[in-house]
């Protein structure tokens, strides 16, 4: 009996010792992605952009497919590329209306795609998202509000949320990061201040079929008055932002 009890105790210790390592594996993957030498020029913005906290929302694993919408200079794209690895795929996507305003960024991403073999750059003709295969994650950082604006043709952010839902696998994740508007403002500030109310995004994503399953408050800034444009020098690069994690229900 003592021998059996001792063996069970030793086994329990072994399981306990293994548990932290299993839990740490995704974090180790993220740490390695953040240490990518290709990010050297962008690492200086990590302190304000909080990549560790935000990328953790996406639960990325090797081999997954993620769409990085309107990826700018590829800040998130590089991180995603290293996390999903050679068997994964990162789709860096612009709608044509936005690409016409960001030709320099599109060229940057095409250069990145030459260095990161698992990155595919797409300029899509319409504002409604498409994908060549079912996706694990759709990621949008500071662009959800744009779908309500004139330069995008005003397709509406609800239509965007619905298109994200369609191209995700069952159980797939929709990560929405955007500049906060004041309570009660809904869509009123998207054109003039580039802001959208958090509650509005939740209503639209829920209408599209998603469930809100997580959130990061890493980008909240109580000093942001929420009633000035995001490009105002008093607040630029320090706006209060929400980061929401939605999930498409499993079958």
Say yes or no to pLDDT of 194 above 60.
yes
pLDDT of residue 251: 77
Give the Cα separation of 230 and 63 in Å (integer): 36
For residue 75, how many C-alpha atoms fall within 13 Å in the half-sphere facing its CB?
Answer: 18
State the chain's mean pLDDT as an integer: 90
pLDDT of residue 175: 98
pTM, whole model, 2 decimals?
A: 0.89
Say yes or no to pLDDT of 14 above 50.
no
Give the Cα separation of 228 and 43 in Å (integer): 28
3 state DSSP class of 188: coil
Instruction: Report residue 28's pLDDT band, with 50, 70 and 90 as the boundaries.
Output: confident
Q: Which residues of 163-192 are buried (b: 16+ CB within 10 A; e: fewer)?
A: bbbebbbeebbbbbbbbbbeeebbbbbbee
């Amino acid at each position: 009996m003592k021998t059996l009890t001792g063996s069970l105790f030793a086994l329990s210790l072994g399981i306990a010792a293994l548990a932290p390592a299993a839990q740490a594996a995704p974090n180790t993957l993220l740490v390695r992605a953040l240490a990518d030498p290709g990010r050297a020029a962008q690492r200086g913005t990590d302190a304000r952009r909080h990549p560790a906290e935000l990328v953790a929302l996406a639960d990325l694993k090797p081999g997954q497919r993620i769409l990085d919408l309107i990826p700018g200079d590829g800040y998130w794209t590089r991180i995603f590329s290293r996390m999903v690895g050679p068997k994964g795929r990162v789709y860096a996507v612009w709608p044509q209306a936005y690409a016409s305003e960001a030709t320099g960024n599109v060229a940057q991403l095409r250069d990145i795609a030459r260095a990161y073999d698992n990155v595919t750059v797409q300029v899509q003709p319409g504002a409604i998202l498409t994908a060549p295969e079912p996706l694990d994650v759709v990621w949008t950082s500071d662009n959800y509000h744009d779908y309500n604006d004139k330069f995008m043709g005003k397709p509406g952010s609800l239509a965007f949320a619905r298109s994200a839902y369609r191209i995700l696998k069952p159980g797939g994740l929709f990560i929405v990061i955007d500049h906060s508007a004041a309570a009660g403002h809904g869509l009123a500030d998207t054109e003039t201040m580039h802001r959208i109310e958090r509650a509005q995004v939740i209503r639209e994503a829920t209408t599209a079929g998603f469930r809100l399953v997580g959130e990061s408050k890493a980008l909240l800034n109580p000093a942001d008055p929420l009633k000035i444009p995001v490009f105002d020098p008093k607040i630029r690069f320090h706006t209060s932002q929400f980061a929401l994690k939605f999930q498409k229900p499993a079958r």
